[in-house]
Structure 1
Amino acid sequence: MFTDIPWTELSEKRLHKPVTLIDVRSPGEFGNATIPGSVNIPLFNDEERAEVGTIYTQVGTEAAKERGLELVSAKLPAFIKQFSAIPGDKVVFCWRGGMRSKTTATVLSLMGIYSQRLAGGYRAYRQWVTEQLDTLAFSPTPIVLQGSTGSGKTEMLLRLKQEGLPVIDLEGMAGHRGSIFGGIGLRPNNQKTFDSLLLDALIAYRDEPFVLFEAESKRVGKIVVPDVLYGSRSRGYQITVELPVEVRAVQILRDYEPWKHEQACIASFSRIRERIHTPIAAEIEGCLRTGRFQPAVELLLKHYYDPLYAHSTAAALDSGIRIMTVTADSIDSAYAEVKRAIESITRNALAH
């Protein structure tokens, strides 16, 4: 027979041995938010879940159970086969540790496949995430990478992470680049998914002497960055990257590939058009509509994003954050200088 396991015990267990988390909710529920690293083996698909839910509401519990049993019985062999292919320890969960995960764990037990059920389901896990983000003591010294739009900050952070440094990629977790154009070509995450990914990173790096992340506003797209990280910047260091407009424009073209998303670019530009001097705005729109993306980006940088950046930089100076500036003529040379700046900070400042 299966046993229930609370999230606090499961999270500790996962530190010492591999455990496969299996979300038996519908694909739609799984796609909306799940526990990071989970696999989805749904007991019902989205249409079946809606049907059973309607019967439960309109007819009653017993009728819903009967229809659920009919639906599950037809797919049972394939369902069991999917679980059989997963080696090692298995923990199943649904929304609140109810009938779907109980049915799954019971059937698996009858077939000789041992699993545990997450007590309270995804809801209990989500409550734990919220509590942790409100109370977690995160002590690593922040080293914040700052720079005008197009300075290659995200690319540099990913390269630093590949070299083994503790990096928190806020834009990657949000699925958004943080600007009006930031969602183009990406699939944004919701707040629940962002919170889970962020908490995993905070726990992984909580004993590090420092942590690196990009200077973002309080919001990244529709995501709100919790104070546990956002509020820590003032006690850390900032490395500001300065690059020529032309270099930054090329970087933006590499990141966004606007020729693949022309209509989305024009639609996004329409949201800020009135904030730009009318003749310049008309020139930018003309460039976008005729595929002349580099001059469009350069004009956007000079007349919209760089003035915004100058304002945010002035605010950062007032906050007391310690700033180092890197000036370069290419992304690669800037990256080399950023690495040297990090080494200087960690060698001199964090050693005391």
Structure 2
Amino acid sequence: MFSNIAVKELIPLSEKKKMVLIDVRSPSEYKNFSIPGSINIPFFNDAERAEIGTLYKQESVEAAKVRGLEIISAKLPEFVQQFKEIEGSKTVFCWRGGMRSRTTATLLSLMDVHVSRLEGGIREYRRWVINQLDQPEAPFKAYVLNGLTGTGKTRILKALEKQGYPVIDLEGLANHKGSIFGHIGVEPNNQKKFDSLFVQQFRELKKSPFVLFEAESARIGKVVIPNWVTELKAKSVQLFIDMPMEERIKEIIEDYRPVEYQAECIAAFQRIKTRMPQDISKKIESDLEAGEFDSAVRLLLEHYYDSRYKHTGLQYPDTQKKVLQVQNLEEAIEAIKRQIPEIQETPAINIG
């Protein structure tokens, strides 16, 4: 028979690559939210799950069980073979540790494929994530990348992360660029997915002497960042990146790709057009429609984004902020390194 495993025992094994996590829920459930690093071998596909659900509601539990047995019996050899091909220790889970994971584990046991089953399923994992997010305070100090729109803060963070420095990429975890245009060209993560990815990264970095992250509002797209991160941002050193306008425009064009997403950019602009003078908003809209993106971006920066960020800068005393005047991203990366004592003491921090 199979054994059960608690989430608090499972996650450390997964983090050490000693356990393969297998989500047996339907593909749409898996896509919506799962345990980071897990793979999907669905017990029922989306259509089959919908059919079973209809039988359960409209006929009876027994009818749903009979139909479920018919479905899984027809594809059992292929289903089992997928598990046989996975090397190492394995744990299966479904929504609440119920029928799908229990039946999967039982069938695999009969076929001499040994797996564990997550107690309480992904619902219990979600409770664990929420508990992990409930930090009284940050376990590390932070340096916060701040500055006007288009200074490449996210790309700078990614470059520093590649070099081995401890980074929390909040926009990357949200899969959203943080502005009114931030959803364009991507599929933003929901709150559950963001939280699980955040906890994964937090646990990797919690023993680091410091972390770097970008100054974000309490909300990125539709997701809310943990309160203690907002509080950490408010009291940490702010590294304000000051970069020439032309470089910022270039960075925004590369990042948001308006040539590919012209219609989406025009649609997103409608949400903020009333927040600036009418003649300016008309000119921006005209430029977007005509493909004059450099001009549109310049006007957006001058008449909307820059004033908002300059107001943000006034919230911090001079003793808490350092202005880094640079010409491009490469200079910004080196300037940031020079400002952080821990980096001077430890040239690169291995977080792998």
Cα distance in structure 2, aligned partners of 1:2 and 1:28: 27
**Structure 1 residues 1-352: aligned runs within 5 Å:** 1-135=1-135, 138-315=138-315, 317=316, 322-343=320-341, 347=345
Contact 1:235 1:321 (8 Å CA) reproduced: no
SS at match of 1:87: coil
CA drift of 1:322 comes to 1.6
Cα distance in structure 2, aligned partners of 1:54 and 1:13: 38
- Structure 1 residues 43, 321: closer, same or farther in 2, change over 3 A? farther
Cα distance in structure 2, aligned partners of 1:321 and 1:217: 22
Query: How big is each residue's C-alpha offset from its partner over 1:85-144, in whole Å with a ceiling of 9 and x where there is no partner?
Result: 110010000000000000111111111110000000000000111111114653110110
Contact 1:241 1:334 (8 Å CA) reproduced: yes
Query: How big is each residue's C-alpha offset from its partner over 1:187-236, in whole Å with a ceiling of 9 and x where there is no partner?
Result: 10000000001111111111111011000000101110011322212332
Cα distance in structure 2, aligned partners of 1:52 and 1:124: 24
CA drift of 1:246 comes to 1.1
- Structure 1 residues 321, 6: closer, same or farther in 2, change over 3 A? farther
Query: How big is each residue's C-alpha offset from its partner over 1:169-189, in whole Å with a ceiling of 9 and x where there is no partner?
Result: 000000100100011101100
Instruction: Report the AA paired with residue 186 of structure 1.
Output: V
Cα distance in structure 2, aligned partners of 1:136 and 1:106: 41
- Structure 1 residues 23, 179: closer, same or farther in 2, change over 3 A? same
Contact 1:89 1:115 (8 Å CA) reproduced: yes
Instruction: Report the AA paired with residue 22 of structure 1.
Output: I
Say which is worse superposed, 118-127 or 76-85, in terms of deviation. Answer: 76-85
* Identical counterparts, % of pairs: 49
Contact 1:233 1:321 (8 Å CA) reproduced: no
SS at match of 2:340: helix
Say which is worse superposed, 17-26 or 116-125, in terms of deviation. Answer: 17-26
Cα distance in structure 2, aligned partners of 1:16 and 1:30: 22
Cα distance in structure 1, aligned partners of 2:168 and 2:262: 31
State the superposition RMSD in angstroms. Answer: 1.6
Instruction: Report the AA paired with residue 190 of structure 1.
Output: N
SS at match of 2:176: coil
Cα distance in structure 2, aligned partners of 1:299 and 1:116: 58
CA drift of 1:41 comes to 0.4
Stretches of structure 2 lacking an aligned partner (at least 5 in a row): 347-352
- Structure 1 residues 264, 303: closer, same or farther in 2, change over 3 A? same
Instruction: Report the AA paired with residue 29 of structure 1.
Output: E
Instruction: Report the AA paired with residue 155 of structure 1.
Output: R
Contact 2:34 2:122 (8 Å CA) reproduced: yes
Cα distance in structure 2, aligned partners of 1:110 and 1:67: 21
Contact 1:142 1:213 (8 Å CA) reproduced: yes
Cα distance in structure 1, aligned partners of 2:345 and 2:4: 48
- Structure 1 residues 30, 16: closer, same or farther in 2, change over 3 A? closer
Aligned residues: 346
- Structure 1 residues 103, 301: closer, same or farther in 2, change over 3 A? same
State the match for 2:349 in structure 1.
none
CA drift of 1:342 comes to 2.4
Cα distance in structure 2, aligned partners of 1:132 and 1:140: 15
Instruction: Report the AA paired with residue 76 of structure 1.
Output: L
Instruction: Report the AA paired with residue 305 of structure 1.
Output: Y
Contact 1:19 1:91 (8 Å CA) reproduced: yes
TM-score (norm 1): 0.95
Cα distance in structure 1, aligned partners of 2:16 and 2:266: 50
Say which is worse superposed, 162-171 or 223-232, in terms of deviation. Answer: 223-232
CA drift of 1:344 comes to 7.0
Say which is worse superposed, 334-343 or 178-187, in terms of deviation. Answer: 334-343
Instruction: Report the AA paired with residue 5 of structure 1.
Output: I
Contact 1:234 1:321 (8 Å CA) reproduced: no
Cα distance in structure 1, aligned partners of 2:180 and 2:62: 50
Instruction: Report the AA paired with residue 291 of structure 1.
Output: G
CA drift of 1:48 comes to 0.8
CA drift of 1:154 comes to 0.5
SS at match of 1:260: coil
CA drift of 1:347 comes to 4.9
Contact 2:14 2:21 (8 Å CA) reproduced: no
Say which is worse superposed, 130-139 or 247-256, in terms of deviation. Answer: 130-139
Cα distance in structure 1, aligned partners of 2:240 and 2:137: 27
Cα distance in structure 2, aligned partners of 1:250 and 1:326: 19
Contact 2:160 2:333 (8 Å CA) reproduced: no
